[in-house]
Homo-oligomer: A and B are copies of this chain.
Amino acid sequence: MTDRLLVIGADAAGMSAAHQALRTARARGRELQVVAVETTGHTSYSACGIPYWIAGDVAGPDRLVARTATEHRAAGIELRLHHEAVGLDLDGRRCEVRDLESGTTRWIGFDQVMIATGAAPVVPDWAIGVERVHPVKTLDDGATWIRLLAENPRTALVVGGGYIGVETAEGLARRGLSTTLVTRGTELMSSTLEPGTASAARRGLEQLGVRVVCGTRIDGLLTDSGAGVRAVCVDGGEYPADVLALGLGVTPRVDLARDAGLPLGGPAVRGALVPDATQQIIDGVWAAGDCTAVHDRLLGQPWFVPLGTHAVKCGRVAGTNIGGGRASFPGAVGTAITRAGEVEIARTGLMPSWASEQLGLRTVTTRLEATTTSGYMPQAAPMAIWVMAQADGGRLLGVQLSGGPGAAKRIDTAATALTCGLSVEEFAYLDLAYAPPFSPAWDPVQIACRVLAERGR
């Protein structure tokens, strides 16, 4: 008898799971039918690439699609685009699916179900129904932005100081719009970046001409006669805005799961689904991607980190298990990277407050300035390094980097070291690659670790 897997949501997590389930089942000689339903007309695209499409770096939406519907179908997946899962009957092992084009619904039976419904952008009340106000989340959002830019707007306002806000502000500024970014935070990305790294991100945007306004809330919008945004009211003043980008984060899409009676996480994970390490919620019900929390290896608890890199990894883990193999997701360590104009930014590990308040750890930190390569090379660019370690024993707990080309991707070494529980002393003596075009003889992160190691002696 052939098992049937129903995949709800045909983006990164869902389709990683679908393909991996098929591959795994086939390798074991098991029959598996995979049906995937997707509300939009798109599959497996890079949401992270949309700010760069807006910026003009990417020719068009097709370039952002990792695997097309045709490719999924060629691999043997029965893919139904413009179909929405509207009801999940777990006892009956069936899902009610609406064909969004015809409006008809039907039930699809399954043996196993993969929930990959993703997340929805936060849209505040004041933004609803106003023209030229849009999030930057889906391919359709991207197309909307390309259309808006074709109308030659002159001023842009970006609301939100997280990754999408920063990347979108960069993109709009590079398209020549007079751009202002407004955030409630005391700095950009202030919940995950220590002040020095956050201010480096701000300087990166400011060097592009973006005005960055921190610690400020939007009171409301002024619209023109056509119900389109004209300006934003802030603290008694106003900023002109021919277009307004929403970068206020996302909330997990869990209505279907909640209505089916599945357990959800609490406010700490924004109510996301919390799968176990195999990505299972309950027997035969799997989930991954932006509708789920991911386990944080350092905090030892689930965390809502809606990133594509976790979606593809967790999706693959789910797929392996669905297909009859064995896999588990070992968890994340809080790694993130972006670019603000010419300034690269990256982080991994804990913030000081997380270490002290959630884990009860005493910590030491240091910050230093260095260059990305040997200082005498023409490509040498300034970079700043922030490192946090446990006061007792010197275990590396967090690293943040900012600077010119080549600064930020060094975070991977730190993420690996955090994962393995290395001390700052051990990190300082790792055999990292040195040649003048690539690094000083002591890697800058190693120098910072050395400073903390000396302090702990």
A416 CB contact (under 8 Å) in B52, B338, B417: B417
Give Cα A228–Cα B167 distance, bound, in whole angstroms.
59
Q: Are A374 and B433 in contact (CB under 8 A)?
A: no
Give Cα A426–Cα B426 distance, bound, in whole angstroms.
20
Q: Are A333 and B415 in contact (CB under 8 A)?
A: no
Q: Is A443 an interface residue (CB 8 A)?
A: yes
A122 to chain B: closest CB distance in Å? 20
Please count how many residues in chain A sit with their CB below 8 Å of the partner chain's CB atoms: 70
Q: Are A376 and B412 in contact (CB under 8 A)?
A: no
Q: Is A64 an interface residue (CB 8 A)?
A: yes
Q: Are B442 and A430 in contact (CB under 8 A)?
A: no
Which chain B residue has the least Cβ–Cβ distance from A405?
A: B405
> Residue among A52, A426, A439 with the most chain B CB within 10 A?
A52
A438 CB contact (under 8 Å) in B330, B337, B422, B457: B337
A228-277 at interface with B (beta carbon < 8 Å): none
Q: Is A409 an interface residue (CB 8 A)?
A: yes
> Residue among A58, A64, A334, A409 with the most chain B CB within 10 A?
A409
Q: Is A312 an interface residue (CB 8 A)?
A: yes
Q: Is A125 an interface residue (CB 8 A)?
A: no
Give Cα A405–Cα B201 distance, bound, in whole angstroms.
22
Residues of A at under 8 Å CB distance from B?
A: 12, 46, 48-49, 52, 57-59, 63-64, 163, 167, 297, 307-313, 325, 329-339, 344, 346, 348, 374-378, 405-406, 408-413, 415-417, 419-420, 422, 426, 429-439, 441-443, 457
